[in-house]
Structure 1
Amino acid sequence: MELRHLRAFLAVSETLHFARAAEALGISPPSLTEQVQELERQLGARLFLRSKRSVALSDAGKLFLEELRPAMERLEGALQTARLAGRGERGIIEIGFAASAAFAGLLTQTISAWRRAHPEVELNLHEMESAPQIEALDDRRLDIAFIRMPVSLPPGIVTARLHREPLLIALPTTHPLAAGESVAAADLAEEAFIIPDQAGGTSFHQLTRAVAERGGFAPRLAHRGRDLIAVTALVALGMGVAVVPESLRGTVTLPGVAYRPLRGAPILAELAVAWRRNEGAPATRALIRQIREAAAE
C-alpha cells in the first residue's frame, strides 16, 4: 500500500466523482480507478459503490475514511515539517553565549533578525563561559556559541570573528588613576585585579595578562566575580581594578565605578561565533550564514 493509493481514495471520497478526482490529482481517470481498485484488493473490502450514474461510499469506505482522514492530516503535517526543516525553516537550535556578547549588542541583533525571518525555528539560549561553550559544542549539547577569544579549540570546531573592541580599565572612582583621562599599563603593577570566575585559561584571564605584559609585571589576581557585572560591583566596592570590554561602559553603570582607556595602542577584545565544521542541520547552517553575513556588513 502506497501513499498514492490513500490520496486517490481521499480524492474520490471528497468528490464522489472519478473524473473530477483524477483531474484534482493530475492523473488520468483510468490510473485513478486502478489505484482505488488496488487499495480495495489490499484491504479485502469494497470502498465505493459504483453505478453508471453515481459513486457512493460503502460502509467499509465510510469507516475507513473516518480513520484515515485525521491520520492523513497528521502525515501531511509531518511531511511539511520535514520539508521546512530541510530548508532550514523549522528546527531547534541550541545557542550558547558569553554575557559580554549581549553587552556588545550582537546577540540581540542576531536573534531579533532571525526570529523575524524564521518564526518556526525554536531557539534555546544558554548563558555560559566561553570555554564550557566550546566543550558543549564539541559534544553536541550546543549548536552555535558566541564566545570571547582567545579560547582553545578542539578539532572540528571553527570560528569567525564578529566584533573587536578596545579594553578598558574599570577603577573605583576614588582611585587616583581615575582622575586621569587614560591609564598607563605600568601604573597598574601594584593593583589587585578582579576577574570573572572560572578564569583559569579563559579569555579575560588572558586579556588581563596581556595588559600586565604591556606594563612589564605579573598581575595579582585577588578576587573573582561570577561574571562581568559582579566583577564591576566588586570594583565599585573598592576591592580592586578590572580589565573589561569597552561595550561594558555603555551597559553597566554602577555608582563608584570609572572606566578609563589604556594609554597607547588599544588592546582589543574579540567576540567570535563558533560552530562544528561538519554541521548538518539546515536551520543551524542558515543561522551561521546569517550571523557571518551580518558581521561582514
Structure 2
Amino acid sequence: MRNIETRHLRYFIAVAEEGSIIAASRALNITQPALSRQVQDLERAIGAPLFERHAKGVQLTDAGASLLHDAKQSLLQLEQARDRAYRIAQGQTGSFSLGIMPSYLASPVTLAILAHFREHNPEILLCIEPLLSLQQAQAIRSEELDGGIMAWRTPDDASLSGIALYRERFVLAVPAQHVAPAKRPRRLADIAGERFVWFNREKSSAQHSLLIAACAKAGFTPHIVQIGTDTPTILGLVAAGMGCALVPASSQLHAPPTIAFIALADLTDEVDIELVYSAARRSPRVQRFIESVRHVTGTKAKHARGKA
C-alpha cells in the first residue's frame, strides 16, 4: 500500500479516541475485522506500529501519538478546504473585480449597489478598478474583470450583456468665476466661441462622436484646446481655467467647487449607464452582484442596450 486515504485517518482517530478497536468498530458501524485491517494497512504504509495492543484495548505508541495530532489537523484542513471550495462555487466567498468609470463612482445608484452587495456578501472581496468604458469592455472579455459599471456598450456586441442602472445626460462645465448671470448660456450655440477641453477621441470615441454631433447640430465645430483622458482630468483642466467642457451630469458629485455646471436646453442626448458582464460566463459572484443591482434599481431580467 502506497497511499494513505482519509478513511484510514478517520478510522485511526476513532480507535485512538475510543482506546479500543471493538468500541471504535461500534462507533463507526463497521466490523471489527475490517477495522483491524484498515489500521494494519495504515501501520504498513507508515512503516511503524501506531498502537500497543493489550487485553483491555490499545494504547498509542509515540509514532501513533504524533500521527494523531497531524491526522486531526489534516482532516480539519481538508474539511475547511472543501467548505471554501463549496462557498466559492456558490458565490459566497472569493473576490469580485468590478470596473467603474471614475465619473460614475460617486453616483447615488452606484453607491447604493455597492453598499447592498457588501451587506449581503460580507465574505466576498470587492475589488474596484477605475477604468474607461473601452478598457472595461476589453477586460471583461479577457476575464480580467467580472463586470463593469460603464456607458457606451456597443449594441451589436454579443460578447457582453448589460443591465441599465440609470440614464445620464450632459451638462456644461465652466470655471465658476467666468459665469456672469446676465451672460449665462442657455443653448449650445451660446458657447460656440468658447475654448473646449475635450474627451480623447481614441479612448472615448462614442462620447466624442455624440458631443461633436450635438455641436454640429447647433451650427458650430468646437474649438478644442486641451484633451483629457477621463472626466476627473477634464474637470481639473476646467478648474485650471483651460476652457469649458461638456461632461456627464454626475460629474457634479465630485467636482471642485471652482467649477459651475449649466444644463443646456438643446443638449438632451442621454446614455445608459449599465452593469456590464460577459454574456458567456456568468459566475455565481456575478449573479450575486446582479441581484444587488436589481434590488437597488428595481429592474428584472431584461438587458438594456447602450448607444454606440
Which TM-score bucket, shorter chain as reference?
A: 0.7 to 0.9
Q: Which residue of 2 aligns with 1:258?
A: 260
Q: Flag structure 1 segments of 5+ consecutive residues without an equivalent.
A: none
> How far, CA to CA, are the matches of 1:90 and 1:180 in structure 2?
56
Deviation string, structure 1 residues 56-91 (Cα, Å, up to 9, x no partner): 324442232233232223222211110111111111
- 2:272 counterpart letter in structure 1: E
Q: Which residue of 2 aligns with 1:276?
A: 278
Preserved CA contact (<8 Å) 1:5 1:35 = no
Preserved CA contact (<8 Å) 1:49 1:58 = yes
Deviates more, 1:139-148 or 1:58-67: 58-67
Identity of aligned residues (%): 25
Spell out the pairing of 1:136-155 with structure 2 (5 A cutoff).
136-151=139-154, 154-155=157-158
Q: CA distance change for structure 1 residues 100 and 178 in 2, over 3 Å: closer, same or farther? A: farther
Q: CA distance change for structure 1 residues 241 and 174 in 2, over 3 Å: closer, same or farther? A: same
- Structure 1 residue 113 corresponds to structure 2 residue 147: no
- 1:253 counterpart letter in structure 2: P
- Structure 1 residue 69 corresponds to structure 2 residue 72: yes
Deviates more, 1:10-19 or 1:245-254: 10-19
Q: Which residue of 1 aligns with 2:197?
A: 194
> How far, CA to CA, are the matches of 2:111 and 2:17 in structure 1?
49
Q: CA distance change for structure 1 residues 53 and 200 in 2, over 3 Å: closer, same or farther? A: closer
- Structure 1 residue 7 corresponds to structure 2 residue 10: yes
RMSD: 3.1
Q: Which residue of 2 aligns with 1:104?
A: 107
SS of corresponding position for 2:117: helix
> How far, CA to CA, are the matches of 2:39 and 2:20 in structure 1?
17
> How far, CA to CA, are the matches of 2:212 and 2:176 in structure 1?
23
How far is the alpha carbon of 1:241 from its aligned partner? Answer: 1.6
> How far, CA to CA, are the matches of 2:200 and 2:112 in structure 1?
27
Q: CA distance change for structure 1 residues 283 and 200 in 2, over 3 Å: closer, same or farther? A: closer
How far is the alpha carbon of 1:52 from its aligned partner? Answer: 5.9
Preserved CA contact (<8 Å) 1:245 1:269 = no
Q: CA distance change for structure 1 residues 69 and 272 in 2, over 3 Å: closer, same or farther? A: same
Preserved CA contact (<8 Å) 1:207 1:269 = no
Preserved CA contact (<8 Å) 2:200 2:208 = no
Q: Which residue of 2 aligns with 1:126?
A: 129
Q: Which residue of 2 aligns with 1:285?
A: 287
Q: CA distance change for structure 1 residues 134 and 152 in 2, over 3 Å: closer, same or farther? A: farther
- 1:41 counterpart letter in structure 2: D
- 2:37 counterpart letter in structure 1: Q
How far is the alpha carbon of 1:134 from its aligned partner? Answer: 0.9
TM-score (norm 1): 0.83
> How far, CA to CA, are the matches of 1:86 and 1:105 in structure 2?
31
Preserved CA contact (<8 Å) 2:134 2:203 = no
> How far, CA to CA, are the matches of 2:55 and 2:11 in structure 1?
20
Deviation string, structure 1 residues 171-205 (Cα, Å, up to 9, x no partner): 23354676466621222333332124465444432
> How far, CA to CA, are the matches of 1:249 and 1:179 in structure 2?
22
> How far, CA to CA, are the matches of 2:233 and 2:113 in structure 1?
26
Q: Which residue of 2 aligns with 1:34?
A: 34
- 2:286 counterpart letter in structure 1: T
> How far, CA to CA, are the matches of 1:23 and 1:295 in structure 2?
58
TM-score (norm 2): 0.80
- 1:231 counterpart letter in structure 2: I
Q: Which residue of 2 aligns with 1:243?
A: 246
Among 94, 98, 103, the residue aligned to 2:97:
94
- Structure 1 residue 183 corresponds to structure 2 residue 186: yes
